[in-house]
């Protein structure tokens, strides 16, 4: 049995970033870019009108912002005419159209006076723009970025805005770290599918869907492999199938029972044990190993079958591994830990730290942690609504209300007042 910190350190040592892959832009949303995106052209690609109005020559406006100009061409967004604006002329122009040669600024249509706002090519417009500045309402070519500029550095996440910039820069495919593929295998001869009515002695496979949801929430690509009974041959075949993925997450079969076959079957399949059993409650039986091949490796997590143990171990061990595989530097990802004041007493265990479900609140008096009712490793009800895990150190006895404790704030759980 090892300490939690040592176990986490081993996971961080073994997990490695996946091999980058070139994928279509929309397949990369949310992923980390491995290579910077450089602009294939300028943005804007030409001087662009930023208002609906009249494209004018700066010099044609009098000092008070007035001018009487002949409209020589109409330009909507997308129109190009090749007609130049000579002194005394202007173009009727809409937002998004390229500024015609000779023009330097746009006077908004609201500044056309005496009913001349409707003037089109062949007509005349009278302008009065008291706030006229030379060059106004024009986005100059290459002011956002120029051809060859880095618009998104390596290491950045492809956010919605990043998708927009990438398209603007002409990128259709990008090099990213793919989402880790995570095979999920529920072991136990007592298990029945989630939609079945369990008979006496049978249990619905709740861990399978729960872990699938956890993998999705962690940005992984779940590969559900269903249920396998506690039979060595069947388990061996299922683990071998799972090893095609980057990660195999098993639930059940890692404790000390007669049919807890996961460690031995994994060893048979060439998975090297890294640790088995961590000083932790819930989750003590957790098992971790690595299967190395020529072209890479698969990490194998044997999570205990009890649902609360499975989920706590997923959050403490599997999530950091998935983050590292997706490009977060080792040590760069962790669930935030905060100091909080207990709102009610909580009892620690003698032999190992407890990670118990709690509510977390930010109040005027600081952060509070309210222990949630929790009957142990088979009880998920508290965890389903818990924003945090209360860390109760081994041998701390009963901690009274008002005591300061450490809380692990769970990812994706909104804390009121935060």
Please give the full DSSP string across 131-190, using - where no structure is assigned.
Answer: T--TTTTEE-TTSSB-TT-EEE-TT-B--HHHHHHHHHTT-SEEEEPPPPEEEEEEE-TT
Return the one option of Mg ion, ligand AMP, none that residue 206 interacts with (CB less than 5 to 8 A, by type): ligand AMP
Shortest distance (Å) from residue 139 CB to ligand AMP: 57
| CB of 272 vs ligand AMP, minimal distance in Å | 22
If binding is defined by CB under 5 A, does position 44 make contact with Mg ion?
no
CB-nearer residue toward Mg ion: 44 or 188? 188
Q: Does 304 bind Mg ion (CB under 5 A)?
A: no
Question: How many other C-beta atoms can be found within 10 angstroms of the C-beta atom of residue 81?
Answer: 15
Within residues 340-379, the interface with Mg ion by CB under 5 A covers: none
Determine the Cα angle at 171 with ends 167 and 173, to 5°: 120
Q: Which is nearer to ligand AMP, 315 or 370 (CB)?
A: 315
Q: Which does 202 bind (CB under 5 to 8 A by kind): Mg ion, ligand AMP, none?
A: none
Q: Does 283 bind Mg ion (CB under 5 A)?
A: no
Q: How far, CA to CA in Å, does 62 sit from each of 50, 128, 133, 235?
A: 22, 9, 11, 86
Cα dihedral 264→266→268→271 (10° resolution):
-130
Taking CB under 5 A as the criterion, which residues in 305-324 touch Mg ion?
305
Chosen from ligand AMP, Mg ion, none, partner binding at 208 (C-beta under 5 to 8 Å by type): ligand AMP
Determine, following the binding rule CB under 5 A, whether residue 208 of this chain makes contact with Mg ion: no
* Interacting residue ranges for ligand AMP, rule: CB under 6 A: 186, 188, 190-191, 203, 205-208, 251-253, 255, 257, 304-307
Residue nearest to ligand AMP (CB): 305
Residues 242-261 that bind Mg ion (CB under 5 A): 252-253
Q: How far is the CB of 261 from ligand AMP (least distance, A)?
A: 9
Measured from the Cβ of residue 193, the count of other Cβ atoms closer than 10 Å reads 13
Taking alpha carbons only, the member of 173, 187, 149, 344 closest to residue 264 is 187
Cα distances (angstroms) measured from residue 81 to each of 60, 90, 101, 291, 399: 21, 13, 10, 65, 79
Given the rule CB under 5 A, which of 14-22, 99-107, 156-164, 298-306 is the region that contacts Mg ion? 298-306
Least separation in angstroms between CB 190 and Mg ion = 7
Does the footprint of Mg ion cover residue 285 (CB under 5 A)? Answer: no
Does residue 44 have a cis bond before it (omega within 30 degrees)?
Answer: yes
Q: How far is the CB of 158 from ligand AMP (least distance, A)?
A: 34
Is residue 188 near Mg ion by the rule CB under 5 A?
A: yes
All residues at 6 or more sequence positions from 93 whose CB lies less than 8 Å from its CB, including other chains = 49, 52, 53, 54, 55, 75, 99, 100, 106
**Which residues sit at the interface with Mg ion, rule CB under 5 A?**
188, 252-253, 305
């Amino acid at each position: 049995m090892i300490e939690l910190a040592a176990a986490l350190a081993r996971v961080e040592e073994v997990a490695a970033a996946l091999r980058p892959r070139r994928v279509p832009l929309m397949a990369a949303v949310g992923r980390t870019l491995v290579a910077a995106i450089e602009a294939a052209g300028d943005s804007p690609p030409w001087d662009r009108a930023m208002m609906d109005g009249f494209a004018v020559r700066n010099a044609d406006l009098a000092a008070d912002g007035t001018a009487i100009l002949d409209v020589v061409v109409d330009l909507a967004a997308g129109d190009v005419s090749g007609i130049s604006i000579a002194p005394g002329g202007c173009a009727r122009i809409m937002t998004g159209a390229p500024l015609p040669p000779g023009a330097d600024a746009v006077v908004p249509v609201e500044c056309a006076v005496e009913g001349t706002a409707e003037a089109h090519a062949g007509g005349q417009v009278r302008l009065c723009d008291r706030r006229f500045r030379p060059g106004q309402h024009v986005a100059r070519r290459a002011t956002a970025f120029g051809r060859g500029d880095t618009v998104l550095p390596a290491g950045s996440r492809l956010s919605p805005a990043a998708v927009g910039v990438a398209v603007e820069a002409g990128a259709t495919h990008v090099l990213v770290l793919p989402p880790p593929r995570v095979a999920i295998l529920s072991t136990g001869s007592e298990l029945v599918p989630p939609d079945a009515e369990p008979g006496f002695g049978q249990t619905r496979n709740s861990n399978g869907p729960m872990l699938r949801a956890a993998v999705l929430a962690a940005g992984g690509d779940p590969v559900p492999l269903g249920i396998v009974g506690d039979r060595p041959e069947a388990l061996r075949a299922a683990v071998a199938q799972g090893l095609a993925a980057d990660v195999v997450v098993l639930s059940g079969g890692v404790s000390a029972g007669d049919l807890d076959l996961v460690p031995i079957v994994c060893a048979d399949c060439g998975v090297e044990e890294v640790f088995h059993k961590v000083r932790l409650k819930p989750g003590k039986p957790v098992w971790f190993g690595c299967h190395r091949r020529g072209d890479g490796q698969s990490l194998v997590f044997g999570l205990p079958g009890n649902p609360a143990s499975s989920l706590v171990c997923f959050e403490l061990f599997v999530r950091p591994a998935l983050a590292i595989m997706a490009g977060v530097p080792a040590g760069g990802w962790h669930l935030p830990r905060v100091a909080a004041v207990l709102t009610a007493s909580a009892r620690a265990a003698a032999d190992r730290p407890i990670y118990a479900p709690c509510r977390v609140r930010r109040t005027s008096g600081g952060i509070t942690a309210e222990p949630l009712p929790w009957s142990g490793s088979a009880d998920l009800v508290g965890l389903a609504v818990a924003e945090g895990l209360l860390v109760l150190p081994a041998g701390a006895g009963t901690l009274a209300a008002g005591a300061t404790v450490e809380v692990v704030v769970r990812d994706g759980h909104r804390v009121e007042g935060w």
